[in-house]
Amino acid sequence: MPTEHSISRRKIVKRTKVHILIFLLLSSILSAQKVDIYKWPLNFERSHDYDAVHYKLEFKFDLEKKIYWGENQVTLLSLKDDFQQCVLDAEDFTVTSVAALNGEPLKFEQTDHSLIIDLSKKYDYKQELSFIIKYYEENSQKGLRFIEAAADYPAQINTFAWPEGARHWFPCFDFPNDKVTNEVIATVQNDFKVLSNGKLVKVTEDKENNTKTYHWSQELPHSTYLIMMAAGPYEVIEDSLGSLPVNYWVYKKDVPDAMRSFRKTPQMIDFYNKTFGFNYPWAKYDQVCIAGSGGGMEDTSATTLGHSTIHDERAEQDFSSEGLVAHELAHQWWGDTITERTWSHVWLSESFATYSEYLYSRHDRGEEEGAINLLGKKNSYLREAHNEYIRPIVFNRYNNPWNIMDSHSYPKGATILNMLCFVMGDKPFFHSLQHFLEKHSFQAVDTHDLMIAVKESSGQNLDWFFEQWIFKPGHPVFDINYQWNENTRKLKLRIIQTQDTSSGVPIYKTPVIIGIVTPEERFSKKLWIRGKENEYVFGVKQKPLMVRFDEGNYLLKEWNFEKSLQELLFQLKNDDVIGRMWAASELVKFLDESKAITALIDRAEHDSFWNVRKNAVELLGEIKRPEHMKLFKAKCEDKNSQVRAAALKVLGELNDPGLVSFFKDRFLKDDSYRAQAEAINAIGKCGGKADIPFLKKAAQMESPRRIIKRAAERALKNIS
């Protein structure tokens, strides 16, 4: 636990810690959840008495009146004898008829949530049957959406089926444990193009009615939430990876900027092919920008992305879409090729895609960027753990699946996969993923299937790992200290787990790497933590300059490791990027020491990695010493936009009206939207009514996510 001294110092940098969260936070918070998730209802895998095999979907539209007419030819297999009643999920649209393929009408009843069909005869177990459902909907708001033209995008039609939205635009069994093949046949006005899953079978033109009909066929099975359709006046930019078509569907105005976001897609596919040992399995890979949604959706072979995915050249430094593109692409393996059997196991798609995005970041941008990427994922989970709740990764309590699409299912699970790789070793881990994909491709799976795949491919029984990390809540909190005995040349290391276990958080078993640096050597020891209190003794010839806990930064953890000023100063210059940031944060305990301040200034000015410079600027900013003004102004011209933005924010918090002209100058000269927004925020804190015209003009400026407009509106509100 923190000492009284460290707690008092911590108040000085409370806001900075929100950003990096690599301090030990009080573990008692874990038992004080703000959201009582155990009051959410239990959910189980849905039963079904038929196996849906194929959906043949046909659509026609009236764009002006916002009406669509749909038809679904359903093919299924009975899973019981005497099967005579078929119940499908169906919401919002109105069914007008159901008929057998020979035209014989079938009786049906439609409720708010279901379509109940009385079949004309009884079917035996595994007997195939088909029927056709016709329906329509006016002013559709869910599932299938009519989007009116706006300044940023043209009129269009698109669909959204995740996680339980397919039932809103076609009748189906809408649960991920049943996989189907499907066709989409859509007739649209002549200037529209239609995209859907799979391969394009044909396009036919009706010149008399000025329409075109697109026929798409998805020939490998996938779950209903992955079926999509998008229609609009798209431009299609063609790309490829060998014989695999890779295309980008964008609005005409976005063609000049599109490749900035999409250009790395083929190399991402190639990277994942090699990393997972399982080649991209679908007929093609399209990405389409749509309105009405942000982020992305990994529809099989045809990912949909919010139109803000594309941005101008200036925005690339602050709003790169590479992470989003890499994440959604990874779903083509994790979620699409293999799919969670129930939403309770959604980590099998979302954690895996989040982890894959980290892998690509590390591959493409280097180890330091990868380390910061992974730290961000750890911090995202830790914020949720402290501010909202902790829960097991596999969790079957929710009001609807959206409840568990959280920082447990995404970043926490990603960091757990990184730890599993550490425990198993790289090659056994990735061999296990390859075996998992090969064994269960185009099937529904749960976590136990993964556990078995690990055993089958590597011979390692990691049930203990899954038990503590996947089926139980929380994370370890460590208190670490060491002593070096000059007489015996021995180092005694003590590691205590201090997490609150009253809510089911376990005492963890885990390997950890201890890094040791002396004046003459640098070496590492891999140890196993197996209980609440652990003590280790090993020989070290000289007094250590640094003892590093969790070298490599593999563990998802919080920790307290009291160190001397001398060791922190050494670590600040000589550790990896995560260790340097941690050392900088710990130096707040020594703010009365000039060496600590000098060291932070040095890192702000000279560290090779931008996030360490940014961290040092933020820490110095909390001290608010006038003599640091020159440093902060200099950092407003740092080569990295995030460092510049941090320096502008620090200066703004000084509330000095004399800095307003400086902020205006930086706004006009900086090429970063994010830094410009911070300059505007600073004017709002330091300026007066004479600055209102400047701010109003800034509010008219176009920027990604309207970041400058929103900053200007806040600044105007502050001044008025």
The answer to whether the CB of 484 falls within 8 A of the CB of 525 is no
Reported as a single tens digit per residue, the pLDDT across 685-707 is 999 999 999 999 999 999 999 99
Q: Is the pLDDT of residue 29 over 70?
A: no
Mean pLDDT to the nearest integer, 27-54: 84
pLDDT (mean) for 353-378 = 98
User: pLDDT band for position 30 (50/70/90)?
Assistant: very low
pLDDT, tens digit, 9 for 90 and up, residues 132-163: 999 999 988 899 999 999 999 999 999 999 99
Over 70: is that where the pLDDT of 402 sits? Answer: yes
Q: Round to whole Å and give the CA distance between 679 and 656.
A: 13
Local confidence band at 407 (pLDDT 50, 70, 90 cut-offs): very high
Q: What is the mean pLDDT of residues 454-465?
A: 98
Q: What is the pLDDT of residue 626?
A: 87
Structure tokens at 14: 């409370």
Tokens representing 696 are 């109003």
| Amino acid at site 333 | W
Residue in 160, 184, 148 with CA at minimum distance from that of residue 63: 148
Q: What is the mean pLDDT of residues 437-463?
A: 98
Tens of pLDDT, residue by residue over 617-665, are 999 999 888 899 999 999 999 999 999 999 999 999 999 999 999 999 9
Q: Measuring CA to CA, which residue among 132, 146, 134 is closest to residue 61?
A: 146
Distance CA 236, CA 232 (A): 11
17: pLDDT strictly greater than 60: no
Measured at the CA of 183, the angle between CA 167 and CA 337, to 5 degrees, comes to: 80
**558: β partners:** 477
Q: Which of 215, 213, 214, 218 is nearest to 283 (CA)?
A: 218
User: What's the mean pLDDT in 669-680?
Assistant: 98
* Strand segments (E) across 486-572: 490-497, 510-517, 522-529, 533-539, 546-549, 558-561
Kindly report the pTM of this predicted structure: 0.94
CA–CA–CA angle 360, 366, 370 (5° rounding): 60
In order of their start, the domains of the chain are 37-41+341-469 (1.10.390.10), 234-340 (1.10.390.10), 624-720 (1.25.10.10)
Query: What is the per-residue pLDDT across 528-557, written as a single tens digit (0 to 9) for each?
Result: 999 999 999 999 999 999 999 999 999 999
Top pLDDT among 567 and 626 is at 567
Contacting residues for 123 by C-beta, under 8 A, at least 6 apart: 78, 82, 83, 84, 129
pLDDT band at 295 (very low <50, low <70, confident <90, very high): very high
Q: Is 304 exposed, middle or buried (0-12, 13-18, 19+ CB in 10 A)?
A: buried
Indicate the pLDDT class of residue 292, thresholds 50, 70 and 90: confident
Spatial separation of the C-alpha atoms in residues 215 and 196, rounded to whole Å: 9
Q: Could you please report the per-residue DSSP string of 134-171?
A: EEEEES--SSEEEE--BTTB--EEEE--TTTTGGGTS-
Q: Judge whether residue 251 has pLDDT over 80.
A: yes
Phi first, then psi, for residue 521 (nearest 5°) are -155, 160
For 210-218, what is the mean pLDDT?
98
Q: Which pLDDT tens digit goes with each residue over 426-439?
A: 999 999 999 999 99
Task: Give the pLDDT confidence score for residue 24 in this predicted structure.
Answer: 42
pLDDT at 35: 87
Question: What pLDDT does 209 receive?
Answer: 96
DSSP calls for 364-416: HH-HHHHHHHHHHHHHHHHHHHHHT----SS--B-SSGGGG-STIIIIIHHHH
- Torsions phi, psi for 565 (to 5 deg): -60, -40
Q: Mean pLDDT, the chain, as a whole number? A: 94
In tens, the pLDDT along 98-127 reads: 999 999 999 999 999 999 999 999 999 999
